[in-house]
Structure 1
Amino acid sequence: MPAEKENGGQGIRTVQRALDILACFSEAQSELNLTQISEKIGLAKSTTTRLLATLEQNGYVEKDLSTLKYRLGKTIYYLGHIAGKSIELKTIAKPIMDKLRDETKETINLHILDGTHRVCIEQSLGLNTISHSIKIGAKHPLWAGAGGKAILAFQDDEFIKTVLEGAVNPREELINELKEIKTTYFCSSIDEEEIGSSAVSAPIFNLDGVVKASLSISGPTSRFSQENIKHYQKIVKDAAILISSKMGYFHEES
């Protein structure tokens, strides 16, 4: 029995060391050589080499024979893709939306891309006597309203061109605004889609870094002062980044 326990402990250490190797890689350091890896995990090169060989055999790492550097392998990508698919956006977003609603007292909406439109799939209704709400499941244009523009800004040029062909708002102004959204990661709309209602929104990124959803704070225009808008821009962006990270997206601060 003692020998069995000892072997079990050794197995656990081996697994942990293998996981430590995988954790060495990052977006900033996507390729590492043997020396760098052994130094990062604090193991001898001989032990590190054996672990890397096993990981390579199973597709968890790949070795570039020309540079002798290692990178994460296809198995990691496949597992990440499966994990991303299994994560339900609404399940992740709802508690974050409720918290944002409690903080602002305004309605929080979760939009997703649907063809050349957006659809609200989840909502945390505002706590004020007069609140703004939209029908869940109804289609809305991407070019009007903060929730739509936060998604549209991160689509490819051809898609944006197609969407803007049906826009009522001035095309040049929209193009400039979309460029700004890609820099700031938030946008606002005042009396844009509906007179008397305003919103602030931010994009949500999926595991692959693609924007297919957005998070919005919406309410009566009378409560959207410049001071409130500025505050909402920060907190909705932070909330959207949190949802994105829980979806598997890595956000690197500039």
Structure 2
Amino acid sequence: MDKSSGVGVLDKAVLVLGALEAGPASLAQLVTATGLARPTAHRLAVALEHHRLVDRDLQGRFVLGDRHAELAAAAGEDRLVAVAGPLLTGLRDATGESAQLYRRHGEHRICIAAAERLHGLRDTVPVGTSMTMGAGSAAQVLLAWDDPERLSVELHQAKFDASTLSGVRRRGWAHSVGEREPGVASVSAPVRGPSGKVVAAVSVSGPAERLGRHPGRRHAEAVLAAAASFSAALRPAEGLPSGTA
């Protein structure tokens, strides 16, 4: 299927933005991912940076800019956020723990929706909270299927290693205990867009004393089901499945 719009420069700019969906990229990585000539990739990335559609991280790599989040909020059509309420509520009720949805933004992950545990000790993550990509089960999920070359850089500051992420890919879910914050445990699974790319991570989190040393044994099934529901909701011509968790 021809995906060309007939406007060459626009198609090439979309290639650059699409490559950055997977995370930070150097100019060389952009060239490899897009197939564009190096001068063309650089010119487009810099032009998109001027319009805040692209930004730079601390290592000078290109990342998606703040303008994307602003446009999504203005349009009010962010599909993930639109379906998050019932899905996270269902996950919270199924597990008895707080549930969150995270999206990657450059070197951080942002909580874009949450459903808190209704009573008792809980892990509260307000919507809009920015967290590191170097700790926690959601970070593991958002990095596990990343480009190997990019991962070698990202893991330098992480509290987990390549073998941990290999386990995440094998199981299809991640868990952590005291990694992001002492005394907090979590379980996460990937939400995939129509192309199969990981676009978000759905999680449950709570006190480690309640979730135990292996929280995945208790809650992985429910988190995977919620992730599948989110992924189904993103497919064209498909709405929410009958189950919400």
Shorter-chain TM-score bucket reads 0.5 to 0.7
Q: Counterparts of 2:99 and 2:231 in 1: how far apart (Å)?
A: 16
TM-score, scaled relative to structure 1: 0.60
Contact 1:119 1:138 (C-alpha < 8 Å) held by counterparts = yes
Distance 1:189 1:228 in 2: 8
Q: How does 1:44-123 map to 2 (within 5 A)?
A: 73-74=1-2, 88-123=79-114
| Residue of structure 1 aligned with 2:226, choices 239, 247, 253 | 239
Equivalent residue letter for 2:116: L
1:118 and 1:139 in contact (8 A); partners too = yes
Task: Give the aligned partner of residue 148 of structure 2.
Answer: 157
1:192 aligned to 179, 186, 190, which one? 179
**1:218 is matched with which residue?**
205
Where 1:150 maps in the other structure, the secondary structure is: helix
CA distance in 2, matches of 1:143, 1:198: 15
Q: Distance in 1 between matches of 2:157 and 2:215?
A: 31
Deviations 1:200-241 (A, max 9, x none): 000110111111210000001111136753130111011101
**For the residues of structure 1 that align with 2:96 and 2:169, how far apart are their CA atoms?**
27
The percent identity for this pair of structures is: 27
Pick the aligned partner of 2:216 from 225, 229, 246.
229
1:108·1:215 contact (CA, 8 Å) conserved in 2? yes
Q: Is the 8 A contact 2:101 2:113 kept in 1?
A: yes
Distance verdict in 2 for CA 1:113–1:228, change over 3 Å:
closer
SS of the residue corresponding to residue 132 of structure 1 reads: coil
Match of 1:206 in 2: 193
Describe the superposition over 1:170-217 as per-residue Cα deviations: whole angstroms up to 9, x where unpaired.
xxx610010111121101000111111110000110111111210000
Larger radius of gyration: 1
Alpha carbons 1:97, 1:108 under 8 Å: kept: yes
Report SS of the residue matched to 1:123.
Answer: strand
Task: Output the CA distance in 1 between the equivalents of 2:146 and 2:215.
Answer: 28
Contact 1:143–1:174 (CA under 8 A) maintained in structure 2: no
State the distance in 2 between where 1:218 and 1:155 align.
23
Q: Deviations over 1:38-90 (max 9, x none)?
A: xxxxxxxxxxxxxxxxxxxxxxxxxxxxxxxxxxx458xxxxxxxxx966111
- How many positions carry a matched residue from both structures? 167
**3-state SS in 1 of match to 2:185:** strand
What is the RMSD computed on CA atoms of the aligned residues? 2.6
Instruction: Render the CA deviation track for 1:16-51: whole Å, top value 9, x for unaligned.
Output: xxxxxxxxxxxxxxxxxxxxxxxxxxxxxxxxxxxx
Is contact 2:211-2:218 (8 Å) kept?
no
Question: 1:236 and 1:104 mapped to 2: Cα distance?
Answer: 9
Select 1:140's aligned residue among 125, 131, 138. 131
The whole-number CA distance in structure 2 between the counterparts of 1:141 and 1:120 is 11
**Structure 2 stretches of 5 or more lacking a match?**
4-74, 239-245
